Amino acid sequence: MNMHDLPVADGSDNPFGARLRGLTRLGGTELGVLERACGPARHVRAKAELVREGERPERLHVLLDGWACRVKLLPDGRRQIAGLVLPGEICDLDSLYAPKSDYAVAMLTACTVTTLDCAALRAQAAQHPAIAEALGFLLVVDNAMLTERNASLGRRSAREHLSHLLCELLLRLTLVGRARGNGYTLPITQEDIGDVLGLTSVHVNRVLQRLRNEGLIQQRGHDLVICEWSTLRKIAAFQPAYLHLDNVEGSAFDIARAPWALQTRRSDGIGFDARR
């Protein structure tokens, strides 16, 4: 497996830049503007709550490393994760225009975070149409992922939904150079996954186990490999158009551009053994 097949990631390993370069058509000028607008990087402990629901947002949070999530909490304690936030993604882009945050942002692992001042960012958007465009597009992508998960929560079975999530994560992580071929690190608990899928951790365990027994995926600790992309994709009815990866360069995304095809996505090692 060579990283060279995935030229999406930045050399300096800034996933935010990588994501912007992959997703938008921002030029060097605007990328520079955005990067300079970022505050200093900060480390945040796992389980910390970066943003509380209902809070008045002053700055956006950009995830540079680790996994976070947007959380909705019902009064009786039931928890729903409205979205996983991966490296390079903005935790709370809504807050750019929201008077109050509609969800909490919580860290699922230890994370590195930087911030963007909302008012300043709006000002930049007003000056640079390309930035306004890009922010709008990022908002659309968030929205599309939410819409797709809605469909999954409403109409997909646990097995289909979990498969769908695993497929989605592979593409999103590949975009920022955090995947290894068909595999990636899944650093969250089955409880967390359950809160994303609207299931109990017990059921997540059983469904995950079946995927493993059928040889569709492999897991070693927190490392996961999708052994049979084609099958997993078919189970999930995964159609990646909603991720809007069309303009990304790199062969890893052929799948995103040819939603009708069911290719195997086997550019490199299939499992853990292949790496030893």
Partner DNA sequence: CGCGCCATTGATTGCTTTCAACGATTGTGG
Partner DNA sequence: CCACAATCGTTGAAAGCAATCAATGGCGCG
Q: Degrees (nearest 5) of the Cα angle 271, 272, 273?
A: 95
Which window, 48-56, 66-74, 116-124, 156-164, contacts DNA (CB under 7 A)?
156-164
Residue 150 in contact with DNA, rule: CB under 7 A = no
- Rounded Cα distance between 101 and 174, Å, is 29
Tokens at 143, concatenated: 């929205």
| Binding to DNA in span 168-207, by CB under 7 A | 189-191, 194, 198-203, 205-207
CB of 45 to DNA, least distance (A): 11
Residue 28 in contact with a second copy, rule: CB under 8 A = no
Residues 7, 187, 198, 269: which binds a second copy (CB under 8 A)? 198
Q: Which does 129 bind (CB under 5 to 8 A by kind): DNA, a second copy, none?
A: a second copy
**Residue 112 or 205 with smaller CB distance to DNA:** 205
Residues 70 and 50: beta-carbon distance below 8 Å: no
Q: Which does 146 bind (CB under 5 to 8 A by kind): DNA, a second copy, none?
A: a second copy
Residues 201 and 189: beta-carbon distance below 8 Å: yes
What's phi and psi for 89, nearest 5 deg? Answer: -95, 155
* DSSP conformational letter for 79: E
Residue 79 in contact with DNA, rule: CB under 7 A = no
- Taking CA atoms, 61 is separated from 12, 17, 58, 175, in Å, by 20, 14, 10, 19
Residue 86 in contact with a second copy, rule: CB under 8 A = no
Q: Which does 151 bind (CB under 5 to 8 A by kind): a second copy, DNA, none?
A: a second copy
**Residue 116 or 225 with smaller CB distance to DNA:** 225
Q: Which residues pair with 180 in a beta bridge?
A: 183
Tokens at 268, concatenated: 């490199």
205: Cα within 13 Å, side-chain hemisphere = 5
Q: Which does 144 bind (CB under 5 to 8 A by kind): a second copy, DNA, none?
A: a second copy
Positions that interact with DNA (CB under 7 A): 157-159, 189-191, 194, 198-203, 205-209, 221
